[in-house]
Amino acid sequence: MVSLIDNEGYLRVDPTLLKLVKMLLLTLIFVSVSFAAVSSRLFSVIRFESIIHEFDPWFNFRATKHLVNTSFYEFLNWFDDKTWYPLGRVTGGTLYPGLMVTSSVIYHILKFVGLPVDIRNICVLLAPAFSSITSLAMYLLTLEVTSTTPTLKHKKTAALFSAFLMGITPGYISRSVAGSYDNEAIAITLLLVTFFLWVKSVNTGSIFYGALTAMFYFYMVSAWGGYVFITNIIPLHVFILLLMGRFDYKIYTSYCTWYALGTLMSMQIPFVGFLPIRSNDHMAAFGVFGLLQLVLLVSYLKDTLSPTKFVRLMFALGAVVAIVGISGLVLATKMGWIAPWTGRFYSLWDTNYAKVHIPIIASVSEHQPTPWSSFFFDLNFMIWLFPVGVYFCFQELSNPAVFVIVYSVLGSYFAGVMVRLMLTLAPIVCVCAGITLGRLFNIYLDVKEELSSWGNNKKSQDSLFTLLSKMVVSATFVFYLVFYVQHCTWVTSNAYSSPSVVLASRNPDGSQLLIDDYREAYYWLRMNTPEDAKVMAWWDYGYQIGGMADRTTFVDNNTWNNTHIATVGRAMATSEDKAEVIMRQLDVDYVLVIFGGLIGYSGDDINKFLWMVRIAEGIWPEEISERNYFTDRGAYRVDDLATDAMKNSLMYKLSFYRFGDVYNGLDPVDRVRQQKLSSGYAKSITLDVMEEAFTSENWIVRIYKLKNRDNFGRDLIDIGKKDRKQQSKRTKRMLSRKKPTMELRV
């Protein structure tokens, strides 16, 4: 019988049927969450097309195509001579191959089963596909964290809330929309799976789960440099548990299994190599591993020795270990056996360090400190559910709860230091928010007591008020959830779904206007320049030029050689005659600049110019000085009041050359800087070494060709001055001639 009515009149349902219905509802919820997670990331494909976004994804796409067309061995040994000319780059040994290998495996599997999907579409849709897996991993992590929480009755409710929140939170969507083919597309999924398996192994003490943690940690290492976050947060979790006196064989087994296997496997990645045993970033994991061995030894000696001997031995052993450990670390660092802390590490603890010492890091927008508005923009109402969830973890303070607290503290700090690290904060915020919502709905949706006392006249009035109060609170949170969905949809649609290579604007009638200058210019480069043409541009556009135009570049977004980048910045910041010498030495053919003064595009090279100056000044302080590009009053001017250093710089001339022609004799206006140039001054901006080759429709991308040397060995600048002088005389003669009067003859 599926169901029956007992003697008391209650409907009894077969437990097997109930389990089946629960499983069906759970599956339906997961399908809905996955559908919401994937569909919310497809705005860019629907509005524009299936296209790779931003900058780094273009390199990843280019590397994936190389892997698909060659073998994995050739990919790891790939030397790319079309980047960082004339140095080149050992690409296979200087990247994290996990993303490319994942796409390549999917491509070959689909091809094997008879679905020949283009590799570009796989790369575009990889991040949305993994977002559904991320939601499942979030469910499992929250369920495992709450498994030791006796006060939370409906643990699956909290886990489902976490999965739902994670699926559509803008903090994660910002790096996982369709076309965002970056390492984070799969890294956040691997981060959550690794943390779930770690918490599972701590709860069970299983070598199996510890080995699985190490395997997914290895996958994470192969995919993203942010694996260092895992490398340090797990040891910190164990260290705090040791300080709390919670050492047991479960923790020992889990950590030793993870560290031993994970370290050995991570060293198989060429780009990582021996860093796990030679880098200060990894020393915390090694130190906790050694500390666990000492704690195990201490626990054995405590059971063996008398209390007096044990205390004496502990003091002596502690002093020896501290002295030997600190001395060994300092000595190994001084000897070069252990790599010192990197500039990126120092910039996490001192936000001004990069600006002073490493401007190339500070010049990246995603490395800037996070404004408060970004927390509300990316997390919405979860920002005030988050601390409540952490408070609930303090109430329980189980081993998984300690992990959540540690992750919350570190994630909050790093997200405040760097905008990019908001991505690592979003998962733990969803966990805590899910726990909070699970507890709230556990209390305010439980109306059994109120309904059961409804018939009692004495308790009916109190039950009514209690029931109404619970309904109001529940309705309030349902409203917040609905508003959260609307907010996430709006943010995803308007803020995170526009590819940087295609700009969206509005016509006067409100209809959408697509500005496609980037692809127009890159296509021109691909079709109208020799295959071995070398293009000099700022490093922001290196990956795009290599991916879309397939032309040789001097610097790109890898930024591994600061001196080479400074050389390009020096050429842009100096006068035309000095820049010619640099470009001849580099064997430059074309120069590409981005200019937004005509249509008001603020992401142009003039706004980035000061970073070029700062980076070049770091190498050539006697030649380049940032102060020379500001007026006496400290203003950054690009009009007639600009400084001589600014007016004579190559970047300035390449940007504003022929700018006055667009305004037909009127004073041209730079709409980004909101500064007006006089028509006479705009016409005086000339070029002698470069000649204009291409300017896109909206003047965003401008490409210039370096002129060939004069056949007679004359200086190109002298030739230009002489031609302008002769042209001026010719113009004056033409104006001085009297034109005959044209009278109408009848």
Q: Give the pLDDT of residue 734.
A: 52
d(CA 131, CA 149): 27
Query: Would you say 604 and 594 are in contact if contact means Cβ atoms under 8 Å apart?
Result: yes
Give yes or no: residues 639 and 580 share one domain: yes
Backbone dihedral angles phi then psi of residue 664, each to the nearest 5 degrees: 55, 50
Give yes or no: residues 340 and 449 share one domain: no
Specify the CATH number for the domain of residue 661: 3.40.50.12610
**Which distant-in-sequence residues (6+ apart) come within 8 Å of 605 by Cβ?**
538, 572, 593, 594, 595, 612, 651, 655
- Predicted confidence (pLDDT) per residue in 439-482, tens digit: 888 888 877 766 666 655 556 666 777 788 888 888 998 999 99
Record the tokens describing residue 297, joined without a space: 């030894």
With respect to residue 65, please indicate whether it lies within any of the assigned structural domains.
no
Query: Would you say 255 and 248 are in contact if contact means Cβ atoms under 8 Å apart?
Result: no
Last residue of a domain, one of 402, 419, 438: 438
Last residue of a domain, one of 421, 438, 455: 438
d(CA 287, CA 325): 9
Cα–Cα distances (Å) from 32 to 24, 35, 739, in that order, read 12, 5, 81
With respect to residue 204, please indicate whether it lies within any of the assigned structural domains.
yes
**172: region left, alpha or beta (phi > 0 left; psi from -120 to 50 alpha):** alpha
Q: Give the pLDDT of residue 4.
A: 57
Q: Which domain holds residue 476?
A: 445-494
Q: Give the pLDDT of residue 463.
A: 72
Number of H helices and E strands in the chain, helices first, is 33, 13
Query: Would you say 478 and 157 are in contact if contact means Cβ atoms under 8 Å apart?
Result: no
With respect to residue 62, please indicate whether it lies within any of the assigned structural domains.
no
Chain mean position to CA 117: 27
- pTM of whole model > 0.75? yes
Give yes or no: residues 407 and 484 share one domain: no
Amino acid residing at 167: G
Give yes or no: residues 421 and 568 share one domain: no
Is the preceding omega at residue 86 within 30 degrees of 0, hence cis?
Answer: yes
CA angle 115, 121, 125 (to 5 degrees): 105
Residue among 399, 471, 392 at smallest CA distance from 155:
392
Give yes or no: residues 452 and 551 share one domain: no
d(CA 497, CA 47): 9
Record the tokens describing residue 630, joined without a space: 């500001």
Give yes or no: residues 163 and 303 share one domain: yes
Neighbouring-strand partners of residue 691 = 705
With respect to residue 417, please indicate whether it lies within any of the assigned structural domains.
yes
With respect to residue 723, please indicate whether it lies within any of the assigned structural domains.
yes
Give yes or no: residues 403 and 531 share one domain: no
Give yes or no: residues 452 and 430 share one domain: no
Backbone dihedral angles phi then psi of residue 79, each to the nearest 5 degrees: -105, 120
Query: Would you say 130 and 383 are in contact if contact means Cβ atoms under 8 Å apart?
Result: no
591 in helix, strand or coil? strand
Give yes or no: residues 196 and 230 share one domain: yes
Last residue of a domain, one of 438, 456, 483: 438
With respect to residue 370, please indicate whether it lies within any of the assigned structural domains.
yes
Query: Would you say 168 and 40 are in contact if contact means Cβ atoms under 8 Å apart?
Result: yes
With respect to residue 292, please indicate whether it lies within any of the assigned structural domains.
yes
174 in helix, strand or coil? coil
Record the tokens describing residue 157, joined without a space: 């409710």
Chain mean position to CA 722: 51
Residue among 39, 41, 378 at smallest CA distance from 177:
41
Give yes or no: residues 298 and 412 share one domain: yes
Give yes or no: residues 331 and 282 share one domain: yes
**535: region left, alpha or beta (phi > 0 left; psi from -120 to 50 alpha):** beta
* Residues of the chain where predicted confidence (pLDDT) is lower than 70: 1-11, 13, 151-153, 339-345, 351, 353-357, 449-462, 728-746
Residue among 169, 183, 185, 179 at smallest CA distance from 47:
179
Count of domains forming the chain: 3
With respect to residue 673, please indicate whether it lies within any of the assigned structural domains.
yes
Give yes or no: residues 283 and 313 share one domain: yes
Neighbour-count burial for 292-315, b at 16+ CB within 10 Å, e otherwise: beeeeebeeeeeeeeeeeeeeeee
**77: region left, alpha or beta (phi > 0 left; psi from -120 to 50 alpha):** alpha
